[in-house]
Amino acid sequence: QSVLTQPPSVSGAPGQRVTISCTGSSSNIGAGYDVEWYQQLPGTAPKLLIYGNGNRPSGVPHRFSGSKSGTSASLAITGLQADDEADYYCQSYDSSLSDSYVVFGGGTKLTVL
């Protein structure tokens, strides 16, 4: 199982707001490591959506926002659109072993109703 825990699925109607949680522990998110978020549309490579907990790369709509608190992080999507239907992954860094390394959440499938 994944080091970071995400709900397997979330859903929402067009125009609504949804949030996706990412729960970690004291060796990753709680240790102060940044959280990144990726969107993976069906059959395509992941795309960086949020970096450094809440920063959007150029070209990512303001509808997408990220936050972090304690050992958890969240991705919020407002004004839900049909083409937001995708898998979303959180990513951070873990130092439970001798050195830090990249860890991903198990992914959340967003369904737009």
The CA-CA-CA angle for residues 3, 44, 67, to 5°, reads 45
The separation between the first and the last C-alpha atoms of the chain, rounded to the nearest angstrom, is 28
Q: Is 102 in the site for other proteins (CB under 8 A)?
A: yes
The residue from 20, 105, 110, 112 that contacts other proteins (CB under 8 A) is 105
Nearest residue to 39 via CA among 17, 24, 15, 61 = 61
Q: Is 97 in the site for other proteins (CB under 8 A)?
A: yes
Segment near other proteins (CB under 8 A); pick from 10-18, 24-32, 77-85, 99-107: 99-107
The CA-CA-CA angle for residues 20, 11, 79, to 5°, reads 80
Q: In this structure, which long-range contacts are made by residues 46-51, counting pairs with CB atoms below 8 Å and at least 24 apart in sequence? A: 46/89, 49/75, 49/88, 50/75
Q: Tokens standing for 5? A: 């825990």
The residue from 30, 31, 51, 76 that contacts other proteins (CB under 8 A) is 51
The residue from 14, 15, 32, 52 that contacts other proteins (CB under 8 A) is 52
The residue from 38, 65, 110, 112 that contacts other proteins (CB under 8 A) is 38
Segment near other proteins (CB under 8 A); pick from 15-23, 39-47, 69-77, 78-86: 39-47
Q: What's the closest the beta carbon of residue 73 comes to other proteins, in angstroms?
A: 13
